[in-house]
Structure 1
Amino acid sequence: MTPPEPIRTPLDRTIDRESFTPAYLSLVDNAHVWGGSRIYNEHFGVTSPDFAILSTLSNRPGCQAVDISEQVALDKSVVSRRLQRLRDKELICWEQDGSRRRLYLTSAGARVHDAVLPVALERAELMLAGFTEEERAQLQSFLRRMYENIPLMNHPPSLEPAALPHDNS
């Protein structure tokens, strides 16, 4: 069998990274998460997703894994593995409440949260260096509106059955 021929020229229609908002969101998010993971792990023994879970539990003691998954926008399987890791490190614990597993910080988890928090807040502040207060408020408003559009984004009308071409063969 002959291998497929490579396409050696750019396609006619492509995404222009300079004007494609999701590209910048990904760049900023990846730099934030991976940079945070490096810093937090080196100094506190946790990663950015770990801290996101600790932060959620600091605000919502007794919540469930599904709540954390929704709150931090991580897949349930990732949250489950992270929860087990945090439990093994004795940073969280859980209690069975009927069929529900309620999650809590331990005193060690609260200490790690409290140690990471100022660094996380400083990093967030540094990310917005050079922004005026008005620009910060406007950015927050835009991000919140984008967040509210997630359900629409994840179910685009162009993929609705009525919008898809039918195979009449």
Structure 2
Amino acid sequence: MSSEPGFDLDAFLPYRLSVASNRVSRLFARRYAEEFGLTIPEWRVLAVVGADGTATARAVRDRTGMDKAKVSRAVAALLERRLLRHAPHRGDRRLEPLVLSAAGRRVFDAIVPRARALEAELTAALAPAARAALDSALALLAARAAGLAEEEAGGPD
């Protein structure tokens, strides 16, 4: 019996977003990430670095919302597999941006068309207006969550 009368977990937005995200991530992993021996966090790091050209671990955290430890483990694994490398930075080695290695670029280039195909499969059930509304709603929710987190932390991260 619920201690909160009338609480419908299946209608609770954070729960629904989490379930949808987990299901899509597992589907993606089964179809593509496993073929390339990547975990979902490793794919997310590779995707950010590949899409942006370079990125620091902090930039990956900021862009993906993943926690520091998860990003750190993923970066370490990708560096060990030589899918990423550090680009030189004058002065502080901790600020060296990550870049795709040649092998990382091949993996990225092989997965991206498949990722886009999966996106097309998932969104095929949405009319163009519904897709636009979803894109807008997700952007607004992400911005609002970031704003609330910033307020709770007492300022920008």
User: TM-score if structure 2 supplies the norm length?
Assistant: 0.85
> What CA distance in whole angstroms lies between the structure 2 residues aligned with 1:57 and 1:79?
12
Aligned residue among 66, 79, 83 for 1:91: 83
Equivalent positions of 1:11-160 (< 5 A) are 11-13=3-5, 15-97=7-89, 98-99=91-92, 100-154=95-149
**Of the two structures, which has the highest relative contact order with CA contacts closer than 8 Å and spacing of 6 or more?**
2
Q: Which moved more, 1:145-154 or 1:116-125?
A: 145-154
Aligned residues: 150
- Greater helix fraction, Structure 1 or Structure 2: 2
Following superposition, which runs of at least 4 residues in structure 1 exceed 6 angstroms of deviation?
none
- Which of structures 1 and 2 has the bigger CA Rg? 1
Q: Which amino acid in 1 is paired with 2:124? A: A
Q: Deviations over 1:7-35 (max 9, x none)?
A: xx332436302321112111110111222
% identical equivalent positions: 26
Q: CA deviation at 1:140?
A: 0.5
Unaligned runs of 5+ in 2: none
Backbone CA RMSD of aligned residues: 2.1
Output the CA distance in 1 between the equivalents of 2:36 and 2:103.
11
| TM-score computed with the length of structure 1 as normaliser | 0.79
